[in-house]
Amino acid sequence: MTIKPRGSLASLACASFGIALTLFGSTATAQSQSGKVFARYNKPLRSVTLDLQTGTLTRTPTVHDKGFTTCANFSNVDLGGFVGVDTGNKFCEWFDAGQTSGCSNSELIRSILFAYCSSAASVGSGGVGGSVRMGFYEGYAVGGGTPTTACAVFTLTGLPANTADSSFFGGFRCYFIRILLNPLINCANGRIAYSWHFMDVGRDGVLAATFPFLSCVQSCSGTGPDGTGMVDLIDEYCPSGVFPPRATFSFGTTPFGSYFTSISMQIEKMVGVPCRVAEFGGNSGCNKDGWLGAIKTAPPAPPGLPPLAACLGHNWGPQVELEQKGVHVPAGNPPKGHGASGAVVYKIFVPGSPNDGPCPAAPFAPYNRRVELELAAGSLGALNVIGLHNGTLGSIVPQVIPNDISFLGATWACYAEFGPPTRDRSQLVYGLIGIRGAPAETCTLLSFDAPKNPTGCVTTPQPMNRFSVHSDFRMEAEFQTACHCCEYRQFVSGELSVRRGLNPIRKLVHPLGPGVLMHATILREDGARKTPGFSGNWNGRYGHRTDPVNGINTVAKDQYVNPINRATGCKYEGKDAPGVYNLVAGEQPSFVFSFQGKIHDFCQGVDVQTKGWTVICPAPLSPSGWPSPIKEVNIDGNVIGGRDVLISLFTYADNVLTVIAAIDNTQQAASVDAADVSISVDTLTLVESPPSGPLLQSVSLGTTAHAIYDFAYFGTPTIVHVRVTINGDLMEFDVDMS
């Protein structure tokens, strides 16, 4: 079924119940008389639910949607005990009017609830069932005039009805029915009218067979019209579609406060699903082609919502700006680099989620520098549009996101492509599709303390005659409202080195999240890597509510409490202890880390508060500062012995080639032992290898063991052949060190 925008035509035929939906159609046949009649009805009503998308009729009182909520934006279902009918066979139509307000700012109608009666024989009794054409209009006022903007007009046929064909005077049955709408109907809040067109005819040949149950204009026990903006009047159009109305009538009104002249109706709108925007920064800073923080949009986002907001029924065609504006690393054309222009890709996945991909340039084709990929296994490709970017701006032709409830809460993603699709992608921007007009929730921060209780540099003894040098601190934040919108995020940059006795200082490279290495000056999101083949839930970042509590982030290091619930907790508690561990006597570490902690409002897509601090332990180990290798090569994305391994090669002025295997050890209870690792370089003489026992480890959220090997090297061969064995698994590399 497709419900089209206002002013369009669409139809639905549901064979199982013979139910047809027609929007904005208009038919009327000539008829010479009107037969407005009212009667009391005091028997119980049966309850049914009809899903217009599937044609499924359920004989139960209510149907609850999963994952989202509705509320009665207009409620007029206090039945007054009377039914009313007029001339049938498509001749007469009644209009009732009121005011939507209250629980929802949304304009999307998910369902309607009303009471009706029918003297026609049900489909199950050999008849055609009841039929009615209903309409919903914005801005209508009782008293005449052409109905204003039509939200939707639809015909229902095959409705549950009577046990046999009869008439208004011969017997009928009455029902409460809830109609589930998908696509959703877009109807603005404020003045609204709904109509009942008498489509069929009873056995008497004049009066309609299917007719509305009447409600009190206010609560039937009240003293007058209530706050729904209604009056005790109905407009009667006979024939239908001819304006002004033939009559504006009232029924049953008395001086004692009886107000019976209204058609029963409850309008139920969607609530509580704001349109959200975020930037997936798991590899922030790794690829210089990330989207600029000040994202542009064309057309503008709905009022009160962040740029790029995607909403059901909203005309969505965002324009995004690349951070580097045509400056790309590595430079040049494919395969090693890419040109200054390419494709920009927008997708909506139902369902879908962002996912990390590998980051650094591979030393061989296809030089995959894809950073953040979108993962949507088994999803529907609800939207997949490719536009162009000129190295600075990228955009697509605006298009409407369907008013389809299956899109609600779906993930959309946007990234730029440079060169062939397997070679390079920019950082991902993503968000969740919500409802235009839904309240834009906002994170309210009460307090933010980071770093809390910093220890400064601490030296701690460890087993097997090891020791560690580290600096501990905590991160805490409390939130007041919309706690689920508030998230803690942590970023880090820095340098590490170690000296063995009087030997020169050796640089260490610390991996962060998948495909991301710590940079000396560029802040990147603090993270840890997932062990290949790990089958459990994985949490490798601080504060992301969508990440489970597992792996390295135990409740002591990364949790939301008050209540203890990662999705809704109103207090964040985290802990970090960056440093170098498993040192042996004579080894001297040195590190400087610059941290940035943020409270991020996920619902609004903005940072609420940011704090920065630096950890230095101790000062650099030489007067000249940090070690400066003549050449540095990092080969990431290797799996050796079941571990994620970064291979780093450095040449130094003291005629040494240093090869380091940085082995992820985040999820392991025990340290990596030097006996499980072996590194050799063909034709080169080994100068120094790790001491026996646990390998030195660097820590910043994730834990990395470093197997450091020094080889005598005088510049030849320029291409060195390296063999790395971990847990009996051998991997070989040819690396150009010229």
Q: Is the peptide bond before 578 cis (omega within 30 degrees of 0)?
A: no
Give the pLDDT band of residue 637 (cuts 50, 70, 90): confident
Q: Is the peptide bond before 629 cis (omega within 30 degrees of 0)?
A: no
Q: Is the peptide bond before 354 cis (omega within 30 degrees of 0)?
A: no
What mean pLDDT is predicted for residues 608-623? 79
Q: Could you give the CA distance from residue 240 to residue 388 in angstroms, rounded to a whole number?
A: 51
Q: Which residue has the tokens 């000056």?
A: 521
CB 642 within 8 A of CB 699: no
Give the pLDDT band of residue 549 (cuts 50, 70, 90): low
CB contact burial 627-649 (16+ within 10 A = b; e otherwise): bebeeebbbbebebbebbbbbbb
Cα-Cα end-to-end distance for the chain: 65
Has residue 13 got a pLDDT over 80? Answer: no
pLDDT tens-digit series, residues 471-515: 999 999 999 988 888 999 999 999 999 988 767 788 999 998 766
- Give residue limits of the domains in the chain: 11-261, 276-432, 445-736
116-to-100, 113, 130, 221, 395 alpha-carbon distances in Å: 22, 10, 10, 22, 50
Q: What is the pLDDT of residue 214?
A: 93
Has residue 428 got a pLDDT over 60? Answer: yes
CB 122 within 8 A of CB 163: yes
Q: Which pTM was predicted?
A: 0.58
Quick one: how far is CA 701 from the chain centroid?
26
Q: What is the per-residue DSSP string for 125-190?
A: GTS--EEEEEEEEES--TT-S----EEEEEEEEEE--BSS---TTT--EEEEEEEEEEEEEE--SE
Q: Could you give the CA distance from residue 57 to residue 551 in angstroms, rounded to a whole number?
A: 47
CA-closest candidate to residue 646, choices 534, 518, 536: 518
Q: Which of 104-108, 297-301, 599-603, 650-654 has the highest mean pLDDT?
A: 650-654
What mean pLDDT is predicted for residues 560-575? 89
Which range has the worst mean pLDDT, 2-6, 139-143, 309-313, 659-663? Answer: 2-6
Q: What percent of the chain has pLDDT over 90?
A: 41
**The pairing of beta strand 150-159 with beta strand 69-76:** unpaired
**The pairing of beta strand 429-432 with beta strand 524-525:** unpaired
Quick one: how far is CA 391 from the chain centroid?
27
Has residue 646 got a pLDDT over 90? Answer: yes
Q: What is the mean pLDDT of the chain?
A: 78
The residues facing 96 across adjacent strands are 194
Give the pLDDT band of residue 344 (cuts 50, 70, 90): confident
pLDDT tens-digit series, residues 75-88: 888 888 899 999 99
pLDDT tens-digit series, residues 145-189: 556 788 899 999 999 999 999 999 999 999 999 999 988 888 888
More confident residue, 46 or 344: 46
Has residue 596 got a pLDDT over 90? Answer: yes
Q: What is the pLDDT of residue 245?
A: 87
What mean pLDDT is predicted for residues 291-303? 43
317-to-117, 314, 406, 693 alpha-carbon distances in Å: 46, 9, 20, 58
